[in-house]
Structure 1
């Protein structure tokens, strides 16, 4: 049966014309159906599915597309062959017919050379690459390495990305009118560099969690698959200069069977990991592969959790992957002699990750921490927090580059970008989302003193206490 994602994992995608026709013969034993009925139905199903795929190729980014096609075909069959379904009392026939539709959907996607939406793969299913393929990938990787670009997360990098539709938000092109408006407004509104600096200092929220644990996922991935991953920054599309992508990494070990494969990482906080790429993530990986001209991407989802105490970390024998992150902050200058509670100067956090090669023993970890503290001291950094993490879940599915999807999608992308260029000159304010103005609520306390309950608080000041050596206590 086609799953809700219909990403056809390897086990599900074993259909062929022969198997579908044999299903017809089996169904043909039902008395109320003539042989001609089945021939007509089969031909109708085949034509309907091909038309639906060709007319809706862009919708393959939706995880429900395959099921939507099957449901749509069944609706038309009900209308086209009412005499068949009106006489059917046994629901088994309808279920069998639905299964036949699913089988033909599989066949048509295969015959049209449209890759499966995603694949669940193990190391055993990978085949060694040919020498020619390795050399071809080596040329592509060297080309990507030599593309001049600003350093990631810098002001120049954000300005560069501002003039691109990035892979991470391009899914909005195919979304609702509100999502399209949001993307156009975002790309028309002048870039606020002060907000960039503010965002970089924040250590809360799901976005920061993902950034913090991305290097950990890379370490786990490299260890698990015995490979090496390299980062390539923000890459501009070689043909469509308004498209850019920042892949989380590319496998660069030519001796590994994953050589040349991209990796896209999502470190999950509070949603279920299903192994089924969401629409926005699938679109993101497609744009990354198109931009870097690579054919495969490992879509990795992880869930990391943190131990409350170091003793829990050392006592943990359940989780194979665990480790330590050191959170450093810029050491504040003490303005007055003898003052030990200086004002903390906001700055981006610095994270240092314990290498996998260092054992998770108290002695080894303690020695590593002391060494890192000494090295960071020369950079005027103080250890703010020690984080003991463990990996709770890991999922890796393969997404293949879908050339047919991009061919069908590029005109919509180009159309939206032309709107951005036009409205940067003519005005874009009409696309701003209308904000609701909350009413100020005045409450009364038990002693009849009124106070306001929904006024945004003023920014707070972070205070840290230092010891005599300048380390955070």
Structure 2
């Protein structure tokens, strides 16, 4: 029994009025046109694509349970569902987050938001526990309002396949993930988070989701190995990502985050895509590498790539593919025939369906991707850990504010960065330790008064003025 509201009503109407014998093509077209006169054409097209197999017989074997064959394009038409009393508080928090103003990425508002906060992706650097960026480098970056956001192959790959990874997660765990942008902390105004998504109360087939309120953090590594067994911290989840997840949970006041990793690669051509049975795909979860079974249709798929019509490098070694746009199917459980129909539809109609892409981009190629490996582990909010690092984050933010007001002292930081890099280079066994948790910021000059509070609107306004002047 489906719970798709008006879509369910239309499907039942079709099934109840059809003869049991094979349907003639002409009869099917008449029925479809009659329904299009009553309902939205796109809805009727999608219903007929689900209900009828190529020889126009009613597909009596079609399954809508557990999120299969669902109508992702028309979820807004689904009826609402009620949560039990146990989830009312969580629903209020989820709705509160949805209503927060969320600036679009790389807009002026988005840059201001990031400039005035330690965002979760910088948490490890801000407590000096990121092997790729020292705390001094982080402070220097935050003191430069024009600090460039430079793409690279790893960042590009992650952005490109994040929507696919999200849909994979939704299909496997039968949950609808809502996207969220830049979310500020209520409690600590100098902190912010940008989770990859949060599970809603809905399953794909519009029932209550057991994943409701679970935050999603996605990683699609290119070279880093996905570890599927061992301790969560450092084994499965690198420490710098663990710090990021904890700050995100704190800012959003949620209790669980699924750390979802997908190793995704690309076929060289369509023939490889067609012939691959995906028998080597590995899918696991938890800390014991528990194997999970997923539909083979989810293990490979297609996206469409569009290049900018006018490419202008933003920095040295910038390349055109990093500026690409992609069009993704609404769901991943498509047959080959459905994929082919989707490609034809998009290429024929994307000037209407995606006018922004059509205006500034041109179609470049069809990309055939495959899932090589996936792993999921649930990470709980760690209050004692947060109680240790938040005072350090506050000290680091105080340093940022100090150096913004005393830019003549920034050379001190630059010298420290050089010395630390030299130390790392000379000492091959050097590893950034968590000394900061006990000794605070050793490398910085503490001969200035630290404000007791930086979680006030006044300090936020002051930092904003520093940005715009």
State the alpha-carbon separation in 2 of the partners of residues 375 and 429 from structure 1: 55
2:245 corresponding residue in structure 1: 285
State the alpha-carbon separation in 2 of the partners of residues 188 and 219 from structure 1: 37
Q: Report the secondary structure of 1:327's partner residue.
A: strand
1:272 corresponding residue in structure 2: 225
1:385 corresponding residue in structure 2: 365
Change (3 A) 1:273 1:371: same
1:412 corresponding residue in structure 2: 392
1:429 corresponding residue in structure 2: 411
Name which of 75, 96, 103 aligns with 1:143.
96
1:241 corresponding residue in structure 2: 189
CA contact (8 A) 1:247 1:288 kept: yes
2:74 corresponding residue in structure 1: none
Change (3 A) 1:247 1:132: same
Q: Does 1:354 align with 2:329?
A: yes
State the alpha-carbon separation in 2 of the partners of residues 189 and 183 from structure 1: 10
CA contact (8 A) 1:159 1:191 kept: no
Q: Does 1:327 align with 2:280?
A: no
If the length of structure 2 is used for normalisation, what is the TM-score?
Answer: 0.58
State the alpha-carbon separation in 2 of the partners of residues 167 and 253 from structure 1: 25
Runs of 5+ consecutive residues of structure 1 not aligned to the other structure: 1-128, 334-343, 437-473
State the alpha-carbon separation in 2 of the partners of residues 345 and 383 from structure 1: 13
State the alpha-carbon separation in 2 of the partners of residues 357 and 396 from structure 1: 19
State the alpha-carbon separation in 2 of the partners of residues 266 and 222 from structure 1: 15
1:367 corresponding residue in structure 2: 341
1:159 corresponding residue in structure 2: 112
What's the CA shift for 1:148? 1.5
2:121 corresponding residue in structure 1: 168
What's the CA shift for 1:248? 0.3
What's the CA shift for 1:176? 5.7
What's the CA shift for 1:190? 2.4
1:306 corresponding residue in structure 2: 266
What's the CA shift for 1:183? 1.0
State the alpha-carbon separation in 1 of the partners of residues 100 and 331 from structure 2: 31
Q: Report the secondary structure of 2:404's partner residue.
A: helix
If the length of structure 1 is used for normalisation, what is the TM-score?
Answer: 0.57
Change (3 A) 1:330 1:174: closer
CA contact (8 A) 2:103 2:109 kept: yes
5 Å matches for 1:187-202? 187-192=142-147, 195-196=148-149, 199=150
Where in structure 1 do 4 or more consecutive aligned residues deviate above 6 Å? Answer: 344-347
State the alpha-carbon separation in 2 of the partners of residues 277 and 347 from structure 1: 27
Pairwise CA RMSD: 2.6
Change (3 A) 1:357 1:215: closer
After superposing the two structures, state which structure 1 stretch, 367-376 or 140-149, moved more. 367-376
Larger radius of gyration: 1
Name which of 170, 184, 193 aligns with 2:139.
184
CA contact (8 A) 1:303 1:393 kept: yes
CA contact (8 A) 1:373 1:382 kept: no
CA contact (8 A) 1:235 1:244 kept: yes
Change (3 A) 1:346 1:326: closer
Q: Report the secondary structure of 1:169's partner residue.
A: helix
2:277 corresponding residue in structure 1: 317
State the alpha-carbon separation in 2 of the partners of residues 389 and 268 from structure 1: 15
State the alpha-carbon separation in 1 of the partners of residues 349 and 109 from structure 2: 28
Q: Report the secondary structure of 1:148's partner residue.
A: coil
Q: Does 1:253 align with 2:228?
A: no
